[in-house]
């Protein structure tokens, strides 16, 4: 059975994935191919790339699945929310615009686009519910025999959060919390209020929060208890006289100018946002585990990318095992959609999924590109040892190896890496390569055998999506990857998951005593992670990187 799944809602994070007999063979976000960050357009490039990778044509596909309900269903729900005042209707001259916003993104464009690009040579499109696709994307590839599955979203078609119970080859729905009662709406609204980009820059709130302190009262906007939470959507969505955050401003004053310097009040607000979200999530997750009776947890949905909250679940001891899908946001919908037919037919790969599902390039292809660009390069047999030596000498390295990761995290295939021992390397990467805010943290990629000695309440974290407190033993080894609150967003590196990356870090440990490297995604600020050798070369020469290690080749900048 060959099944092709995709995400497309014209909003953000379109993607495509293809699975054969329950095993995912390829998955990619459309942005990596189109170069448009969070691209929400029809994923024609992703669909074609998935078919090309498997050597199939659209006519060979048995099932074609989209992880969204129909546009008509979604529009009816939006209108019902407006008419029942669950979401506010603007009264200041904007009703026409508001109705257009309801209709926008709610028309069934997917079928038309499929016909446009593939004619009649495609299977009839099947749609599955958005949160069902999220839940499948978390449970099916988790490797768990039984799990509580929690989806924490901004919004799906009309879902905001949901609880599921996975056992063997069954996934049962337990509860859905509908939009606009949404933790994602809460977090995104305050992201925008603080002058950042909603549904994109939530990472910045997480990074900024540890610089704040308690004192900002957000109780008018969110409450929680008795296993649930309540978001005041009427305040979060209220607009007035062209002011997007009028409901929030009623309590907290004018929204921050994006060009203004951050002050302590902004940091204190970030602390409160993160704190309230963590407490609401813990309440919801604890209730979900009580409902299913299973202490193994799988998480999907955009809010599930909150690594600090994920680490807190372990710290509080409310669960035994956790699996957070590496593409937990809407790009992961393609994964759940592609796996639906085989799972429903009783076929499930019980191994935990590898995140390395994107394209790769042969040594000959890379050599040809380097020659075409007329770049001087060195070909090395032991590229792991050579890279470790570069890092030990203080180089900032672009690392491009093997198959690209699926999801927003670079996990040792499309990474920028540096020596993690010295805090100045964090500033060097920020100032010379990432061109981003100095207060945003980086992550350590750490050899598995050293993790327990370095981190409190450690749990296997292959996707860099759990945060732990650093033990005293971590000091002097990964200082550049420890945040101001003594936390670190860890990637566990095992040899059987990524042999070359493991060998490189092991070689670096022999040279320096540090069992880790500083790791961040291989891209410049505002750009998508590099996908091709050309992308890597361009980013290398437009940044302050010292060396590019691409397959077995090393490119250096000339003096």
- Collapsing DSSP to helix, strand or coil, 141 comes out as helix
Separation between Cα atoms, residue 251 and residue 434, nearest integer Å: 35
Separation between Cα atoms, residue 162 and residue 422, nearest integer Å: 43
Q: Are strands 296-300 and 321-324 parallel, antiparallel or unpaired?
A: parallel
- Can 53 be counted among the known catalytic residues? no
- Collapsing DSSP to helix, strand or coil, 43 comes out as coil
Neighbours of 257 (CB within 10 A): 8
Angle at 172 between CA 188 and CA 310, to 5 degrees: 40
Separation between Cα atoms, residue 151 and residue 129, nearest integer Å: 12
**Marked catalytic residue, from 12, 122, 131, 459:** 12
Run of H or E residues at 443: strand 443-447
Run of H or E residues at 380: none
Q: In DSSP terms, which residues pair with 447 in a beta bridge? A: 493
Separation between Cα atoms, residue 272 and residue 195, nearest integer Å: 16
Separation between Cα atoms, residue 287 and residue 289, nearest integer Å: 5
Q: In DSSP terms, which residues pair with 489 in a beta bridge? A: 467
- Backbone phi and psi for residue 220, each to the nearest 5 degrees, phi listed first: -65, -15
Q: Are strands 414-418 and 516-521 parallel, antiparallel or unpaired?
A: antiparallel
Which residues have a catalytic role annotated?
Answer: 12
């Amino acid at each position: 059975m060959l099944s092709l799944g995709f995400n497309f809602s014209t909003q953000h994070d379109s993607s495509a994935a293809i699975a054969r007999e329950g095993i995912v063979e390829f998955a990619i976000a459309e942005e990596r191919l189109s170069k448009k960050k969070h691209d929400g357009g029809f994923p024609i490039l992703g669909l074609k790339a998935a078919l090309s990778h498997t050597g199939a044509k659209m006519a060979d596909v048995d099932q074609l699945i989209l992880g969204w309900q129909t546009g008509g269903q979604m529009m009816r729900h939006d209108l019902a929310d407006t008419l029942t005042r669950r979401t506010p209707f603007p009264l200041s001259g904007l009703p026409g615009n508001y109705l257009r916003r309801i209709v926008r993104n709610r028309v069934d464009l997917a079928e038309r686009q499929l016909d446009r690009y593939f004619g009649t040579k495609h299977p009839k499109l099947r749609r599955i519910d958005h949160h069902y696709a999220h839940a499948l994307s978390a449970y099916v590839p988790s490797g768990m025999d039984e799990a509580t599955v929690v989806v924490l979203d901004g919004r799906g078609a009309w879902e905001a959060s949901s609880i599921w119970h996975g056992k063997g080859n069954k996934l049962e729905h337990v509860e859905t919390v509908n939009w606009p009662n949404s933790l994602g709406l809460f977090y995104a609204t305050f992201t925008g209020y603080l002058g950042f980009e909603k549904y994109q820059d939530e990472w910045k709130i997480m990074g900024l929060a540890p610089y704040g302190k308690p004192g900002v009262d957000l109780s008018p906007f969110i409450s929680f208890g008795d296993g649930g939470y309540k978001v005041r959507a009427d305040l979060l969505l209220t607009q007035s006289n062209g002011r997007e955050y009028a409901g929030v401003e009623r309590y907290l004053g004018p929204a921050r100018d994006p060009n203004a310097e951050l002050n302590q009040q902004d940091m204190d607000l970030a602390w409160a946002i993160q704190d309230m979200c963590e407490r609401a999530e813990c309440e919801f997750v604890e209730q979900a585990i009580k409902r299913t009776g299973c202490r193994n947890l799988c998480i999907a949905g955009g809010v599930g990318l909150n690594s600090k909250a994920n680490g807190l679940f372990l710290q509080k001891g409310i669960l035994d095992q956790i699996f957070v899908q590496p593409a937990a946001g809407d790009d992961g919908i393609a994964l759940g959609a592609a796996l639906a037919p085989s799972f429903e037919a009783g076929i499930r790969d019980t191994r935990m999924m590898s995140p390395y599902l994107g394209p790769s390039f042969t040594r000959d292809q890379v050599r040809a590109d380097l020659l075409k660009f007329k770049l001087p390069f060195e070909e090395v047999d032991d590229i792991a040892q050579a890279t470790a030596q570069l890092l030990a000498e203080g180089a900032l390295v672009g690392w491009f190896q093997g198959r690209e990761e699926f999801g927003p995290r670079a996990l040792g295939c499309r990474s920028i890496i540096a020596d993690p021992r010295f805090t100045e390397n964090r500033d060097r990467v920020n100032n010379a390569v990432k061109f981003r805010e100095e207060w945003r943290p980086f992550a350590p990629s750490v050899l598995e055998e050293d993790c327990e000695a370095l981190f409190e309440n450690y749990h296997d974290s292959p996707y860099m999506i759990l945060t732990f407190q650093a033990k005293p033993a971590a000091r002097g080894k990964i200082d550049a990857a420890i945040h101001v609150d003594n936390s670190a967003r860890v990637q566990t590196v095992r040899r059987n998951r990524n042999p070359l990356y493991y060998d490189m870090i092991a070689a670096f440990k022999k040279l320096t005593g540090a069992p880790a490297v500083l790791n961040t995604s291989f891209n410049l600020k505002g750009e998508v992670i590099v996908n091709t050798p050309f992308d890597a070369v361009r980013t290398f020469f437009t940044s302050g990187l010292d060396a590019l290690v691409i397959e077995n080749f090393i490119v250096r900048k000339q003096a």
